[in-house]
């Protein structure tokens, strides 16, 4: 039982975990993942990538086809959900409509046979935590979507679990409320020091809330990293394309020198970039974030590309440019209004700068 008290030991471990429903297609493939105690880890990926299946296996609603899942060092593959002491928040809230808010919170405590005085104390504390102290006598249908979401969170936390799982819990909320709730959930998690495993397909949500993000595709974690590292230093083209916006130019690697390489684009232009998962002589995809493209300055060592403006979109704090370069490729640029020549018009020629430090040479995805 030492793992329970050792804060350095993983709170949750997946070891060689696989899941198939038909005996042929693996939804999750040889997953190895350690989740740290007290961290906010997001499982991010497109539909069908395996992220929700991983969450359901950890919750106990699905059983792994192979491998082990450990919680505090103990194998839990065959432990039923109600014995895992894990809090769960669903997208549809799953509140009991015939129960008041307070009774919804009392339910998991009564199942655990807590004393009545302890039940009432915990219900009050949970309602205080989500700032809905005056709503205990109401029914779920009398609450707004955001209030129902808060109650679902309070119910997941009321029995003091050390691990809370959230499956697209903000998916039904409008944009403004969703963004507010992202911060509220993160602040509650930090205050309580609990471990949260959060599933979403929303990249900005993952970047806002997470200590680390595991990006899934086809049942495999493509990269797991802190949000900034994931965004700035993607390890392959899937991650670069899936996280935020990305510009891509294809070419061939002509030289590699440690962390930097040279790539000859298909149009003939040679660019310097940080070396990703590519080698000399192989095909590569140059990846550049729109906000990293330079519109002014002639810094030494910067890649230069000639382009033609196709569209300018004013967004208040920034201008979004769509340009054409390298023969036929569309390129997107985001620039602060203060940095842009306001006389620019569609059809104008401009010169772009790409800093090699923010330009990555990655694999070219296989055609499907």
Domains for the chain: give ranges and CATH numbers: 2-232 (3.40.50.300), 245-362 (2.40.50.140)
Residues 6+ apart with CB under 8 A from 289: 231, 232, 244, 245, 246, 247, 358
Q: With contact defined as beta carbons under 8 Å apart, do 228 and 37 qualify?
A: no
Distance (Å) of CA 79 to CA 105, 280, 367 = 24, 50, 42
Nearest to 156 by CA among 180, 115, 122, 132: 122
Taking 50 as the pLDDT cut, the residues of the chain under it are 1-5
Q: How many CB atoms lie within 10 A of CB 326?
A: 19
pLDDT of 4 reads: 45
Nearest to 278 by CA among 222, 360, 216: 360
Distance CA 199, CA 252 (A): 37
Phi and psi based region of residue 258 (left: phi greater than 0; alpha: psi -120 to 50; beta: remaining): left
Distance CA 153, CA 125 (A): 13
By three-state DSSP, how is residue 167 classified?
strand
Element (H, E) at 51: helix 51-59
Distance CA 317, CA 2 (A): 53
Please report which residue ranges of 100-226 form alpha helices under DSSP H: 101-111, 116-129, 145-157, 175-192, 203-209
pLDDT of 7 reads: 58
pLDDT of 129 reads: 86
Please list, residue by residue across 51-73, b when 16 or more beta carbons sit within 10 angstroms of its beta carbon and e when fewer do. Answer: bbbbbbbbbbebebebbebbbbe
Residue 140 gets which letter from DSSP? G
Distance (Å) of CA 127 to CA 104, 156, 191 = 11, 12, 15
pLDDT of 111 reads: 85
pLDDT of 80 reads: 93
Calculate ∠ Cα 258-276-27, nearest 5°. Answer: 145
Distance (Å) of CA 87 to CA 5, 27, 126, 153, 182 = 20, 24, 13, 9, 18
Distance CA 41, CA 100 (A): 32
Listed as own residue / partner, the contacts of 135-144 with beta carbons closer than 8 Å and 24 or more positions apart are 135/101, 136/100, 136/101, 136/102, 136/105, 137/100, 137/101, 137/102, 138/100, 138/101, 139/97, 139/98, 139/99, 139/100, 139/101, 140/93, 140/95, 140/96, 140/97, 140/99, 140/101, 140/104, 141/97, 143/101
């Amino acid at each position: 039982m030492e793992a329970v008290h050792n804060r350095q030991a993983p709170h949750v471990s997946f070891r060689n975990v696989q899941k198939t429903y038909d005996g042929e297609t693996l939804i999750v493939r040889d997953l190895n993942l350690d989740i740290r105690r007290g961290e906010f880890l997001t499982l991010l990926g497109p539909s069908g990538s395996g992220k929700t299946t991983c969450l359901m296996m950890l919750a106990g609603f699905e059983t792994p086809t192979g491998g082990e899942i450990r919680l505090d060092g103990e194998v839990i593959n065959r432990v039923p959900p109600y014995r895992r002491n894990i809090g769960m928040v669903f997208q549809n809230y799953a509140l009991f409509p015939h129960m008041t808010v307070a009774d919804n919170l009392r339910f998991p405590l009564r199942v655990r046979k807590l004393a009545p005085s302890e039940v009432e104390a915990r219900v009050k504390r949970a309602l205080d935590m989500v700032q809905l102290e005056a709503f205990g006598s109401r029914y779920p249908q009398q609450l707004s979507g955001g209030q129902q979401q808060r109650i679902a969170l309070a119910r997941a936390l009321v029995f003091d679990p050390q691990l809370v799982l959230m499956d697209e819990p903000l998916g039904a909320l409008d944009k403004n409320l969703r963004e507010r709730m992202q911060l509220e959930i993160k602040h509650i998690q930090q205050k309580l020091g609990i471990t949260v495993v959060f599933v979403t397909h929303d990249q900005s949500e993952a970047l806002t809330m997470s200590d680390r993000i595991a990006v899934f595709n086809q049942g495999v974690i493509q990269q797991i990293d802190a949000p900034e590292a994931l965004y700035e230093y993607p390890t392959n083209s899937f991650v670069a394309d899936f996280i935020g916006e990305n510009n891509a130019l294809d070419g061939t690697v002509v030289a590699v020198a440690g962390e930097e390489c040279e790539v000859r684009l298909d149009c003939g232009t040679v660019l310097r970039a940080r070396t990703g998962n590519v080698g000399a002589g192989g095909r590569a995809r140059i990846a550049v974030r729109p906000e990293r493209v330079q519109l002014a300055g002639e810094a030494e060592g910067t890649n230069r590309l000639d382009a033609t403006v196709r569209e300018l979109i004013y967004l208040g704090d920034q201008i979004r440019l769509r340009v054409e370069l390298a023969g036929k490729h569309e390129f997107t640029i985001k620039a602060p209004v203060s940095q842009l020549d306001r006389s620019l018009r569609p059809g104008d020629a401009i010169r772009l700068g790409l800093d090699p430090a923010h330009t990555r040479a990655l694999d070219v995805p296989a055609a499907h």
